[in-house]
């Protein structure tokens, strides 16, 4: 059962797989707000007949493509109607957070496998990281000011080549950032759970020893998921030890960093700048300093989105469908103990 808005051509691609019966009724789903939107327009509701039809489809589904409603509570509301459900392919890389928010019973967690879209968004997030890193290192704000007043100031620009970046979390997003960093001639320190060598890093340190890597880094890119283990791992003491030219990048989760301490460092120019796609809370309050600090490159948690996102998720799903049918391990299984 396809439980999220999806283009007809991609539905047909799933339907073309052997031994797969697809249930998809677009009128029972909200209209997408933009290409590859998985939640749809606000205020959507099925009428009584539509809800009955929806629940009947859930009752027959063994597999869901997409988390119904794209939220944890809506997932929880759907599961009592889906006794045959064995697997949910989520459309978010951070699907563990949705599963956690659903507060499911141990029985549901035991009978249903959840898989995320991890790996689908790595390229987009890496591009955003370097969009921001270049804008800050080249001082795009200063260039905009020069142009606005028709000036002709000269100043030495910063450069990426020969600088060092610490990439915290060497999963698919971290690897994508590391590959692009190497293309710019940067030295890459991978920060991972252990110091085991990473193919896309020049050297690797364990997360427990990350402080030494941060002290050497000109840029720090965080890609970690939001879990109990990662909450606040970038704290005030860590930030205080960074170099003045450090640019901090967060394309993981806002809960990983002490946002107040980060803002203080940016305000005082203790660090050079930040490239942020994620925050605590989201959406940001209207009075947050993040809106106005000039040394922040900002995205409202939209940097991973792409018009090609659905295509990439369906490609992953089709691969997983083949594994599911063959009884083979699925890609991107969510750890329902740590929820990532």
Known catalytic membership, residue 253: yes
DSSP state of 234: B
Please state, for a pLDDT cut of 90, what percent of the chain lies above it: 99
The pLDDT of residue 273 is 98
Architecture of domain 122-298: 3-Layer(aba) Sandwich (3.40)
Q: 117 pLDDT exceeds 90?
A: yes
Q: Which pLDDT tens digit goes with each residue over 168-213?
A: 999 999 999 999 999 999 999 999 999 999 999 999 999 999 999 9
Angle at 27 between CA 26 and CA 29, to 5 degrees: 70
Cis peptide before 281, with omega less than 30 degrees from 0? yes
Nearest CA to 241 out of 276, 206, 265, 208 is that of 265
- What ranges in 217-308 are assigned the alpha helix state H? 236-240, 259-267
> Strand order of the sheet with strand 219-222?
203-206, 187-192, 164-168, 219-222, 247-250, 273-276, 296-298
301 is catalytic: yes
Name the active-site residue from 60, 203, 282, 319: 282
Identify the active-site residue in 111, 231, 236, 301.
Answer: 301
Check residue 176 and give its pLDDT: 98
**pLDDT exceeds cutoff 90 at 257:** yes
Give the other-Cβ count within 10 Å of 205's Cβ. Answer: 21
| pLDDT above 70 as % of the chain | 100
pLDDT at 153 > cutoff 90? yes
Among 38, 100, 121, 253, the one annotated catalytic = 253
- What average pLDDT score do residues 21-27 get? 97
Instruction: Indicate the domain borders of the chain.
Output: 8-119+306-326, 122-298
**In CATH, 8-119+306-326 is 3.40.50:** yes
The Cα-based distances of 22 to 10, 12, 65, 267 in angstroms read: 12, 9, 10, 53
Q: 188 - beta bridge partners? A: 165
Q: Burial letters for 119-143: b for 16+ Cβ neighbours within 10 Å, e otherwise?
A: bbbbbbbbbbbbebbbbbbebeeee
Asked if 8-119+306-326 and 122-298 have one fold, the answer is yes
Contact 304, 89 (CB under 8 A): no
Q: Are 269 and 294 in contact, with CB atoms under 8 Å apart? A: no
Instruction: Give this prediction's pTM.
Output: 0.93
Whole-number pLDDT of residue 4 = 98
| Mean pLDDT score of the chain | 97
What confidence tens digit (pLDDT) does each residue in 58-109 have?
Answer: 999 999 999 999 999 999 999 999 999 999 999 999 999 999 999 999 999 9
Is the separation of the CB atoms in 275 and 297 below 8 Å?
yes
For strands 273-276 and 219-222, give the pairing. Answer: unpaired
Q: Does 19 score more than 90 pLDDT?
A: no
Active site residue 282: yes
Element (H, E) at 127: helix 122-137
CA–CA separation, 340 and 338 (whole Å): 6
């Amino acid at each position: 059962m396809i439980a999220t808005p999806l283009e007809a051509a991609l539905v047909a691609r799933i339907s073309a797989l052997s031994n797969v019966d697809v249930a998809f009724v677009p009128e029972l789903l909200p209209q997408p707000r933009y290409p590859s939107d998985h939640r749809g327009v606000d205020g959507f509701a099925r009428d009584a007949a539509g809800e009955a039809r929806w629940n009947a489809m859930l009752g027959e589904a063994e597999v869901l493509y997409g988390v119904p409603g794209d939220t944890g509570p809506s997932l929880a509301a759907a599961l009592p109607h889906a006794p045959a459900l064995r697997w949910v392919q989520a459309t978010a890389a951070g699907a563990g957070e949705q599963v956690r928010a659903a507060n499911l019973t141990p029985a549901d967690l035991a009978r249903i496998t959840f898989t995320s879209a991890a790996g689908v968004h790595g390229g987009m997030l890496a591009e955003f990281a370097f969009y921001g890193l270049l804008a800050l290192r080249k001082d795009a704000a200063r260039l905009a000011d020069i142009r606005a007043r028709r000036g002709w100031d000269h100043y030495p620009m910063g450069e990426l080549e020969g600088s060092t970046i610490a990439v915290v979390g060497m999963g698919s997003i971290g690897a994508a950032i590391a590959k692009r960093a190497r293309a710019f001639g940067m030295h890459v320190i991978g920060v991972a759970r252990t110091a085991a060598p990473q193919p896309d890093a020049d050297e690797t340190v364990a997360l427990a020893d990350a402080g030494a890597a941060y002290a050497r880094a000109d840029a720090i890119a965080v890609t970690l998921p939001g879990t109990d283990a990662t909450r606040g791992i970038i704290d005030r003491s860590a930030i205080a030890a960074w170099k003045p030219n450090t640019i901090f990048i967060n394309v993981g989760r806002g809960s990983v960093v002490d946002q107040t301490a980060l803002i203080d460092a940016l305000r005082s120019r203790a660090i050079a700048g930040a490239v942020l796609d994620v925050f605590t809370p989201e959406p940001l309050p209207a009075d947050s300093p993040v809106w106005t600090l000039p040394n922040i490159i900002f995205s409202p948690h939209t940097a991973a989105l792409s018009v090609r996102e659905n295509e990439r998720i369906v490609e992953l799903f089709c691969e997983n469908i083949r594994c599911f049918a063959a009884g083979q391990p699925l890609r991107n299984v969510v750890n329902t103990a740590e929820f990532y």
